[in-house]
Amino acid sequence: MLFSEVAECFAKVEATASRLEMSAQAAELLKKCEKEEVKPLIYIIEGNVAPSHEGLDIGIGEKFAIRAISQTSGYTEKAVLAEYKKSGDLGSAAENLLSKKSQMSLASSPNTLSKAYSSFVKIAQMSGAGSQESKVSLLSELLNGAKPVEARYLIRFCLGKLRLGIGDPSIIDALSMMKHDDKTDSQTILRAFNLCSDLGEVAEYYIAGKDLSHFSTQPFKPIRPALAERLSNAEEIMNKLGKCAVEAKYDGLRMQVHVREGRVDIYSRKLEKMTHMFPEITQAASKLKIKSAIFEGEALAYNAKEKKYYSFQQTMQRKRKYGIEGMAKEFPLRLFVFDLMYLNGKDMTLEKYSKRRKSLEKLFSKTEPLVPSELIYTDNPKKLDIYFTDLIGQGLEGIIAKDLSQPYVAGARKFAWIKLKKSYGALADTVDIVIIGYYLGKGQRQEFEFGGLLAAVLNDETDEFETIAKIGSGFSEDEMQSFEKMLDEIKVKDKPKGVNSKLTPDFWVKPKYVITVAADEITLSPMHTAGMVGETGYALRFPRMMSLRDDKGPEDITTTKEIIEMFEMQKK
């Protein structure tokens, strides 16, 4: 397949607002692929050269992309920069300049999908002295054989700004549609994806005609985390689950640990590899008397002498690239292991919770700082309430009640797990929302370019971010300066694709950073688009920022469905 066919499809996808139509266009493109091209194409549509947990980034900055465009088009770097400022998009600038090339192309052949992908991988793998020049050379070679529309997406891809607005749910639907013209296989494909976080591998498996219902977990392919539903009190939980495990809910760093024959990797909630940051966890896991395992826990900075948990903010100081040994001494971690998904070659996700828990307790009986999470078993609401109050008194967040008969539900929010947390004002829980824009400082904040945030929840049915709050409180002066710098780097000229907003901030930003917010309540609003029916949506009343969540990505935030459920719970 020629890369120009990929680019032409991307242009159609970019021009449509319908998620179903995006999937249909991607399905048509996938139908044209050779079997060996499907995996690379899936990664390219996702905007990556490999699954994101492998951490393989292209690593080309705007400066070097401008140089490549200049070398190919015959225009000076100054002229390229001027075109970029005019359009606000370096990909579009490359397209415009290559459409009126001022020099003859060198002898070149058209780019195939395989050639483009191979070049992307080479660029990503280059490092060390002279690597940037080699990257520029490879990109120039691709641009030299490109049609103008190809240039748009070659540049955007290398900058990590593909901007198609097509997410993994739409790609999953596209895979099903290429075989059935509908979503017949979407849930089966989604389950496999949730078990390995590698949509390219799943697509390859699916295209080959293999039965995805037999797809299973494997070490070093991170599992998308199971999520908990909410109920408002102990009695509702007991009515829903009956006798259940009631587990302490820790406010720390969620970790997924993979072990095989002494090798250990640790993945964050966002499925980023962070093994080197936590030497005490890695060392303890490598000493486990097993052949292989995948287990999950919540890591907290913990003072064993005083039996004291440190705050989330103190724990988050451990997530760093430098000064790791010093911080490990100051804030030693304890990993409270709460689930076991794989053990000695066996996929445990299909086993009921009670069986997984027994295996977990046996494995982690004397493995400090890896310890089983604290829990009780009960069918008594009063006993649950007493336990809940005791945990809040210890500085924990609350409880997670777990259905003893349920499997591990990867990547989904089900009533297999139900959370009950301490209240924040009138609202029974905090919410995690993504920043989509920001406002300039006014009044006392006039000295700052940052004055507040526009933030959104995720509608997982439409795959859109819907606004729910303008946030102007909860920031220190240091945090305002930090936000100003951080958000300035991801500013975009126009409203990002996939954002549904009636409000217009002073600056739009790429949905990337997640914050935890407390509020007095959820109210109906004509201004915000979260769950909007007719002219009425939902909004947070008196929202205030609690923390920046580096451990969560936009796909992990509170959903519109959850907001509506919390609004209904509020009425009770």
The set of catalytic residues is 249
3 state SS for 311-374? CHHHHHCCCCCCCHHHHHHHCCEEEEEEEEEEECCEECCCCCHHHHHHHHHHHCCCCCCEEECC
Question: Which tokens hold the place of 173?
Answer: 């639907």
Exposure pattern of 278-300 as b/e (b: 16+ CB <10 Å)? bebbbebbeebeeebbbbbbbbb
Return d(Cα 18, Cα 463) in angstroms, integer.
Answer: 10
Q: How many CA atoms lie within 13 A of 532 on its CB side?
A: 20
d(CA 264, CA 290): 12
Tokens of 281: 């966890």
* Residue among 415, 77, 72, 75 nearest 231 (CA): 415
CA 128 – CA 126 distance, rounded (Å): 7
**Contacts with 562 (C-beta within 8 Å, 6 or more apart), sequence order:** 230, 413, 431, 457
Sheet holding 413-421, edge to edge: 227-230, 413-421, 398-403, 244-249, 375-378
Q: Is 404 exposed, middle or buried (0-12, 13-18, 19+ CB in 10 A)?
A: middle
**What's the CA gap between 335 and 341, in Å, rounded?**
16
Taking the chain, what is the end-to-end CA distance rounded to the nearest angstrom? 58
Could you give the CA distance from residue 374 to residue 302 in angstroms, rounded to a whole number? 14
Under DSSP, is residue 302 helix (H, G, I), strand (E, B) or coil? strand
Per-residue DSSP letters for 539-553? EEES-EEEEE-TT--
Q: What are the CA-CA distances from residue 407 to residues 347, 351, 355 (Å)?
A: 11, 5, 10
Residues 258 and 343 sit within 8 Å (Cβ to Cβ)? no
3-state SS, residue 515: strand
Cβ-Cβ contacts under 8 Å for 570 (sequence gap 6 or more): 426, 427, 428, 521, 522
d(CA 375, CA 402) in angstroms, rounded, equals 10
Burial (CB < 10 A; 0-12, 13-18, 19+), residue 106, is exposed
Do 435 and 515 meet the contact criterion of CB atoms below 8 Å apart? yes
Contact 78, 67 (CB under 8 A): no
**Residue 433 half-sphere exposure toward CB, CA atoms < 13 A:** 32
- Report the alpha-carbon distance of residue 30 to residue 253 in Å, rounded: 38
